[in-house]
Structure formats: C-alpha cells, structure tokens
Amino acid sequence: DVVLTQSPLSLPVTLGQPASISCRSSQSLVHSDGNTYLLWFQQRPGQSPRRLIYKISNRDSGVPDRFSGSGSGTDFTLKISRVEAEDVGVYYCMQYTHWPHTFGQGTKLEI
Amino acid sequence: EVQLVESGGGLVQPGGSLRLSCAASGFTFSTYWMNWVRQTPGKGLEWVANINPDGSVKSYVDSMKGRFTISRDNAKNSLYLQMYSLSAEDTALYYCVGSSTVWGQGTLVTVSS
C-alpha cells in the first residue's frame, strides 16, 4: 500500500501567520493517465472531513484562496497564507492514484 | 441540499454482523462513485470499499475482503455495507462518501462483548 507521511503531526500557529504541511508518498502518485490524484482534507473538531484541494493544487468551490496546494511525484505541500481561527482542525492528505486509497496520519493545526 | 445520512451502526459482539445504510439526497446519486471510509483514533482515516456508479465494479481493502460487501440501489439513492465476522479492530466511525466530496456524518460501529 502507498504510505503517505505527513509532517509535522502537530502545528501550533499564530493567527495571521502562514502555515505549511508536508505530505510525502512512498511511491509516485502520477497515474498512468498523467494525472496526480492527491487531495487535501480539513476536519474541524466534531465534523466530517471536507475536501479542500484536488489533483495537487485545485481548490474546491468555497475554499478560501488562502489555501494552496503544490508539489509533484512524491512530495506535496498544503499552505495556508494567513491562518484564521476557523482553520483549526486536522488536515489530511489522501491519494487515489493507487488502490487502496490511503490517507496521511493527519496534522493537527492549533492556534 | 447535498446530503448523505448513514444508519445501522451500533454495538455488536465479536464475530457478529451488521449492515450499514446510507441515504443520499440533493445530488445525482446514480452518477457517483460511492465509498465507505472509517475513522478511529488510533489508525486515523482508512478507506474500506468503493463501488462504481452502476454497481458493477467493487473494490475492497485487503483486510476487509471476504468479510465486507458493498452494494447500492440507485432507484432508492442508497448505499450499503454488509459486514461479517466483526472484530474489535473494526470498531470505528463509518462514513459514507460520495466521490471524495460528499461526506455523511458517520455511524459508529462498536465491536465488543
């Protein structure tokens, strides 16, 4: 199975400051169709996960533009340009290039 | 409103069975790949199974193959997960997920004597 390793696992941040989460894959996430199926999810306390980013860098509808995704191959990053209070929660990367689809361990962002 | 509502979770003894259901509304269910994903404090988020829009293709994580069966009824906008031979390791919050964008609130399965 593809192992996604996130770092850091805990991310204390200051309101208004940037934050960055790394996700490294045990193998390339480039699919045979040329796409890279790497997603980012946010899970706020007490809520279900919510998709933020798909195919590395595409923001979902309604996601603030302070969130951005980047990377390629096996190394990916989620960045928040200026952290707001509502961003508190756990962030997960996920891949569906390979079966079984797998998630990273999660990064807990706290103010 | 786009919505997935799971039901059927509960307390079951080791070795027992349980059937989870998921009712979809607010989107064209019959066009979506549907999935079951579970979450535990220890293992985090874990994919369980998925099924293609017409129900002809099903995939399972190895540890659940042969014990879990995913199915759907597009006429009823419903997704199901039949679980057999449950063990304590199957204790989790089970989410119904449409594509990767629509998530239910989850239904809790507890396997314990």
Identity of the residue in B47, B95, B106 whose CB atom sits nearest the CB atom of A100: B47
Average pLDDT of chain A? Answer: 96
Q: Strand A89-95 vs strand A38-43: parallel, antiparallel, or unpaired? A: antiparallel
Q: Minimal CA–CA distance to A10: which of A102, A79, A111?
A: A111
CA distance B4 to chain A (A): 11
Q: Give the pLDDT of residue B42.
A: 79
Percent of chain A with pLDDT over 90: 99
Q: Which two tokens stand for residue B13?
A: 């003894």
Exposed/middle/buried for B16, CB within 10 Å: 0-12, 13-18, 19+?
A: middle
DSSP letter for each residue of B9-32 = -EEE-TT--EEEEEEEESS-GGGS
**B interface test, pick of A4, A6, A37, A48 with most B CB neighbours within 10 Å:** A48
* Spatial distance between the Cα atoms of A81 and A15, rounded to a whole number of angstroms: 11
pLDDT band at B1 (very low <50, low <70, confident <90, very high): very high
pLDDT digits (tens, 9 = 90+) for B13-52: 999 999 999 999 999 999 999 999 999 987 889 999 999 9
CB of A60 less than 8 A from some CB of B: yes
* Spatial distance between the Cα atoms of A34 and A32, rounded to a whole number of angstroms: 5
pLDDT band at B83 (very low <50, low <70, confident <90, very high): very high
Which amino acid belongs to residue B68?
A: F
Q: Which residues contact B63 (CB under 8 A, 6 or more apart)?
A: none
A39 vs B contacts (CB less than 8 Å): 100
Q: Give the pLDDT of residue B102.
A: 94
Size of interface A-B (CB pairs under 8 A): 34
- Cβ <8 Å between B45 and A48: no
CB of A62 less than 8 A from some CB of B: no
pLDDT digits (tens, 9 = 90+) for A40-88: 999 999 999 999 999 999 999 999 999 999 999 999 999 999 999 999 9
Q: Minimal CA–CA distance to A77: which of A2, A31, A1, A18?
A: A18
- Cβ <8 Å between A48 and B44: no
Identity of the residue in B45, B47, B101 whose CB atom sits nearest the CB atom of A51: B101
Identity of the residue in B46, B47, B103 whose CB atom sits nearest the CB atom of A49: B103
